Amino acid sequence: MALNRLKQGFWVACGVTLVAGIAWAQHDMKHGDEHKGHHAEAHGKGSAHAHDFGPDTRELVKYPAKMREHTLAGMRDHLKAIQEIQAALSRDQFDAAAEVAEQRLGMSSLGRHGAAESSKVMPAGMAAIGTQMHRAASQFAVVARDASATGDLKATLKALSHVTAQCVACHAAYKLQ
């Protein structure tokens, strides 16, 4: 019963986040830059909201064209993998979530994504965040496999948040050209 309430709360939170994001994007499109300056000062560089307001202060990372396309495709696959993980968790398929995490995001995925080659072009901080994301995904996989026995959805969501926190940190600090 408590697990069902936790799941319902999780999906309500996901829905609210999605609706709020859509509303915010529509607001931004309608109002443009008029509110951006004061909000950037209030939230500061590097906060979750800094990219929404004020000038874009992220570090520009120049990639060769093919590597840029490959990297962006990899990031889209990461996002798709996170969605697949969330869907598996919603069905109590912890082992499936773990498998997606390890193979598509975790340390086992480094060769598939060409991490060694792209890390040569990345600033050190960007590479460090990427490595931490891959480690967090592998750690999530362990927690998710444990949850197959324990049913501990809360622990899996906490571990998954460590993965997505790295995505947020990287996108807040860097942009590709």
With contact defined as beta carbons under 8 Å apart, do 145 and 136 qualify?
Answer: no
Low-confidence ranges of the chain (pLDDT < 50): 1-3, 5-6, 8-47, 50-51
Q: What angle do CA 83, 86, 91 make, to 5 degrees?
A: 130
Q: What is the pLDDT of residue 112?
A: 81
Q: What is the pLDDT of residue 13?
A: 41
Q: What is the pLDDT of residue 152?
A: 96
Q: What is the pLDDT of residue 124?
A: 95
Q: What is the pLDDT of residue 177?
A: 86
Other beta carbons within 10 angstroms of residue 109's beta carbon come to 20
Distance, in Å, from the CA atom of 60 to the CA atom of 176, rounded to the nearest integer, reads 6
Q: What is the pLDDT of residue 116?
A: 83
Q: What is the pLDDT of residue 4?
A: 53
Q: What angle do CA 25, 29, 30 make, to 5 degrees?
A: 115
Q: What is the pLDDT of residue 49?
A: 52
Q: What is the pLDDT of residue 126?
A: 95
- Tens-digit pLDDT profile for residues 154-177: 999 999 999 999 999 999 999 998
Q: What is the pLDDT of residue 103?
A: 97
